[in-house]
Amino acid sequence: MSDSPTPTTLDAAPFWAAIALFPLVWVGVIMGGWTVFLVSIYGWMLFPLLDRFSGFDLENLDPQTPRPALFWYRLGILVWTPLQVVTLFGGIAVVARGDHLAAWEVFFVISGLGILSGLGGIVYAHELMHKQTRLERWLADVLMAMVQYGHFRTEHMLVHHAHVGTPRDAVTARYNEHFHKFFFRVIWQCLRSAWRAEAARLARKGLPAWDRSNPFWRYATLQLGFIILAVLAGGWIGLGFYLFAALVAVWQLELINYVEHYGLTRKHLGNGRYEPQKPHHSWNAAQFSSNRLLINLQRHSDHHVRPDRDYPLLQNYGPDQAPQLPYGYGVMSTMALIPPLWRRRMNPLVRHWRRTFYPEITDWRPYSAGTTPMPR
């Protein structure tokens, strides 16, 4: 890949697209009226529309680019956390203590704060938690605690990346499983599997599950701190606003999780063993505009190959290497909310994927049900 282009400062600018959510939130908080829809329009409608005009981003930057050359890409990630703290709790304070918004306006403003925390904050936390520096991992913990979902880092790092495409990974959506069932299943399964993963990690060191090195203590402390901050910002009604915004954020997270691996499974090799992860175990999406908003999250196939790779250096895979989503995450997530529409569009693609990558497998029923043997 020596002939791949290297990133420039100008190239980094479009990846700051999510920053525009902050002023849009504040316009809705202060002005109300039709402006309360601006966050939804920007985050969920504008970029799918732009994808139709901007086309596909098939260019791969040099993956050997040193981190100092990525300064402007990384800066946008690092400044997000303090901006979200100020906007989330400042917005809650204004809405809870003011009387200038009608009930329906309050609903959409708080939903907008949830979109900000999910579409921006959780996506950025996902990038940060894969990095090696203590600052970046702490910022990831702060962002996830801000939506009361701190255990996601453990679940994502120790469970999802290790067991994606197998029954041990809760967030690999089963073939024919609709999103609404998936959401309520993963909420409790992910918490349980995250706790078990940390308990097992500590047990290998000869330590009890409740040892102070268990990150669940940090997750709980941060989450409690944000609950107190919400009460200080807006009283008990402010706490209600905060928890609703957190629910919206987590709902978006699991909606994207559902899309990323729907129906894709790793081949069972017998005796509870599965084949190694490959690019074709994640859906890839190359839509230019959506990848700018979501900092290349849609290049998910390469993320599972190299989880530590900085987002601008993630590589795009063609259809011969990874299955391709027909649209970006915005359209696919909306489609996932309508199960008959989702199945009509995606099930044929899953069956094509099976024929392409696993022509030797004739009975997919155990995989579809998620009942293939699990490694012990």
**pLDDT value of position 370:** 62
Question: To the nearest whole number, what is the mean pLDDT of the chain?
Answer: 94
Q: List own/partner pairs for 56-59 with CB under 8 A and 24 or more apart.
A: 56/286, 56/287, 56/288, 57/286, 57/287, 57/288, 57/291, 57/316, 58/286, 58/316, 58/318, 59/5, 59/316
pLDDT tens figures, 80-119: 999 999 999 999 999 999 999 999 999 999 999 999 999 9
Q: Is residue 1 part of a domain?
A: no
Question: Does residue 3 lie in a domain region?
Answer: no
- Number of domains comprising the chain: 1
Side-chain half-sphere CA neighbours of 187 within 13 A:
12
Query: What is the pLDDT at residue 367?
Result: 77
Structural domain contains residue 62? yes
Beta-strand (E) ranges in the chain?
Answer: 268-270, 273-274
375, part of any domain? no
- N-terminal to C-terminal alpha carbon distance within the chain: 39
What distance in Å separates the CA atoms of residue 196 and residue 162, rounded to the nearest whole number? 14
Q: Which domain holds residue 111?
A: 9-369
Cα 376 from Cα 372, distance rounded (Å): 13
Amino acid at 36: V
CA distances from 160 to 75, 108, 167, 194, 260 (A): 27, 32, 11, 10, 12
Res 375: pLDDT: 44
**Where does residue 318 rank: exposed (0-12), middle (13-18), buried (19+ CB within 10 A)?**
exposed
Examine residue 4 and state whether it is found in any structural domain, yes or no. no
Tokens 């990630």 label which residue?
Answer: 77
The token pair at 58 is 């098939």
Residue 371: what pLDDT?
A: 62
**Residue 91, pLDDT score:** 98
C-alpha atoms less than 13 angstroms from C-alpha of 202 in its C-beta half-sphere: 17
Q: Residue 364: what pLDDT?
A: 87
Note whether residue 191 is domain-resident. yes
Q: Under DSSP, is residue 209 helix (H, G, I), strand (E, B) or coil?
A: coil
Taking the chain (376 residues) in runs of 10, the rounded mean pLDDT of each run is: 65 95 98 97 96 94 92 95 98 96 98 97 98 95 98 97 95 96 96 97 96 97 98 98 98 97 94 92 97 97 96 96 97 97 97 95 79 52
pLDDT of residue 363: 87
> Is the whole-model pTM more than 0.85?
yes
> What pLDDT does 376 receive?
38
Position 38 in a domain: yes
Tell me what pLDDT residue 1 has: 43
Phi, psi of 324 (to 5 degrees): -110, 130
Tell me, yes or no, whether 374 lies in a domain: no
